[in-house]
């Protein structure tokens, strides 16, 4: 248990150091720029019979210095002991408004946005919609760290092998990744 907290603290400190490197950059996000964002995670709860690998790739286009539209492709793959592995994917168009001018040189860009898209697996498909918020923290002129939170509501619940998960009609999704402007 103590090891788990120690690893968490190390991760948080490393992240804070990385975000602290922002002071040496001159952020450059402007109208007409494109963004590519990459993130991923793996979770395996202690004593659990499953683990989940998550990968996100997003492409965005800045219509103005503050308004970005884009599309996010998400893939989650669950590794389950003594059962069939499962996967779920989401294709989600989004729109984000960045609050430029919140820091002296826009090295830190908070944003709010919304999305609507589809989540699916090999047995089922449903729509998803929701709000999102987060920030881009620039570490180089065209490279940023992305922190994003979104809540996704599903139009219908996804089923896997005729088993329904009725504990929630939505998900909290927190993303930590890296992005590039070109």
Would the CA dihedral through 150, 96, 175, 133 be positive or negative?
negative
CATH number of 2-181: 2.40.160.20
The rounded mean pLDDT for the chain is 81
The pLDDT, as a whole number, for residue 33 is 95
Going from N- to C-terminal start, the domains of the chain cover 2-181
pLDDT digits (tens, 9 = 90+) for 126-159: 999 999 999 999 999 899 999 999 998 888 865 5
Mean pLDDT, rounded, for 40-69:
86
pLDDT digits (tens, 9 = 90+) for 171-180: 788 889 999 9
The pLDDT, as a whole number, for residue 71 is 98
Can you tell me the distance from the alpha carbon of 94 to that of 113, in angstroms, rounded to the nearest whole number?
7
pTM over 0.85: no
């Amino acid at each position: 248990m103590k090891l788990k907290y120690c690893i968490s603290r190390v991760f948080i400190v490393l992240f804070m150091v990385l975000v602290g490197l922002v002071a040496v950059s001159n952020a450059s996000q402007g109208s007409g720029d494109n963004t590519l964002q990459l993130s991923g995670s793996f979770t395996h709860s202690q004593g659990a019979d499953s683990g989940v690998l998550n990968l996100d790739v997003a492409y965005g286009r800045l219509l103005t210095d503050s308004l970005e539209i884009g599309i996010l492709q998400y893939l989650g793959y669950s590794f389950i002991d003594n059962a069939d592995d499962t996967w779920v994917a989401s294709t989600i168009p989004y729109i984000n408004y960045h609050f430029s001018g919140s820091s002296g040189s826009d090295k830190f860009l908070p944003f709010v946005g919304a999305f609507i898209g589809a989540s699916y697996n090999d047995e089922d498909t449903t729509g998803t919609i929701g709000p999102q918020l987060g920030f881009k923290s620039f570490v180089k002129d065209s490279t940023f760290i992305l922190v994003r939170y979104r809540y996704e509501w599903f139009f219908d619940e996804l089923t896997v092998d005729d088993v329904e998960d009725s504990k929630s009609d939505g998900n909290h999704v927190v993303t930590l990744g890296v992005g590039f402007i070109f």
